Amino acid sequence: MPRAISSFKTRQQKCTNNPSTKKMNLRNLLFMVVIVLTVIACQQPNKQTETTATQVKEAIKTENVVFTSEGIQLAGSLYSPVNPHAAVVLVHGSDSVPRMKKLATLLAKNNVLVFTYDKRGVGESGGVYAGPEVGTNNISRENLHLLAKDASAAVQLIHTKNKDVPIGLLGASQAGWIIPIVANKNPFVQFMVLFSAPTITTLEQLRFQFYTNGRTDFWEHTTEKDAREHIKNDPDRYQFEPMDPKEVLKTLSIPGLWLFGEKDIQIPVNLCIEQINTLKLENKPFEYVLFPSLGHYTYQEEPINISLNWIKQQTVTSKNALNNLN
């Protein structure tokens, strides 16, 4: 743009005494004015977009919080939008997971109050982390119930700070065994959202995981029938009392949403869906969505958007139940 203006001025100086040139110069000047105004107009929406994004970010209050569970101090962050219609506690999967800031921010931008914390023994949280990478069993009944107590303490924390919003639990993978325990024990839990979460026993999940052995092309060479035979009959590599989430799910009356990837090689999705359908026949308010192109990682745009819309739908019912509790 500066070069075009410069060449225009040079031509003008050579032809100042020519009337027709003057008219051309006037047209050119008007043309340049139009271009400049257009550029300014095009830049203006970008500034507005940046301002809006900044306002949204500033509207979300972030507070670091320390709370206690079973005598251990756990550290987390509370993401509070101006006018939340619901609240969730994020429940971890099986790894040594710190607080999930990116997911929390995304949910908070959609008017959901979020509490996320460092898993026991991870980050700034005290206690001892249990997991295969440190040689301990993180899906024993004892450890799952301990992690459920941590999540329940987080629910209590949210309820203490904001009694006006319905509280739910949202998590993935291993959280499928933890969330139902919390929902069964804590009356303030009004709904649950579970991404790639098992509804089968811990030992059945392990048999399937060992059978798939991390092969991304597993379902291209294996039938559903073969997979179920291995889940049912393969010898267990570890001996411990299994956790069966169906025992707890049968006791729940709160709504639940499961989101599955059909190509999952960590959990047998069709078998898990079959279990949910059985519970639905018992009038449990459970739903599920299956994504044919996804695997175990379902924390992606479409599943998250569906879960956000579903949470919003539950808000009215949950608020009525919450009023009865308060």
How confident is the model over 232-290, as pLDDT tens digits? 999 999 889 999 999 999 999 999 999 999 999 999 999 999 999 999 999 999 999 99
How confident is the model over 157-194, as pLDDT tens digits? 999 999 899 999 999 999 999 999 999 999 999 999 99
Contact (CB, 8 A) for 253 and 279:
no
Average pLDDT over residues 291-315: 96
Using pLDDT thresholds of 50, 70 and 90, give the confidence band for residue 320. low
Give the start-to-end residue ranges of the domains of the chain: 2-55, 61-325
The type of residue at 175 is A
pTM for this model (two decimals): 0.81
Between 96 and 135, the more confident residue is: 96
Percent of the chain with pLDDT over 90: 73
Give the model's pLDDT for residue 51. 41
Give the model's pLDDT for residue 132. 80
How confident is the model over 13-71, as pLDDT tens digits? 333 344 444 444 545 555 554 444 444 444 554 444 444 444 455 689 999 999 999 99
Give the model's pLDDT for residue 36. 43
Backbone angles phi, psi at 8, to 5 degrees: -60, -40
Q: Which of 263, 266, 210, 202 is nearest to 235 (CA)?
A: 210
Give the model's pLDDT for residue 259. 98
Return the CATH fold of 61-325: Rossmann fold (3.40.50)
- DSSP assignment of 37-97 equals HHHHHHHHHHHHHHHHHHHHHHHSEEEEEEEEETTEEEEEEEEE-SS-SEEEEEE--SS--
How confident is the model over 189-242, as pLDDT tens digits? 999 999 999 999 999 999 999 999 999 999 999 999 999 999 999 999 988 999
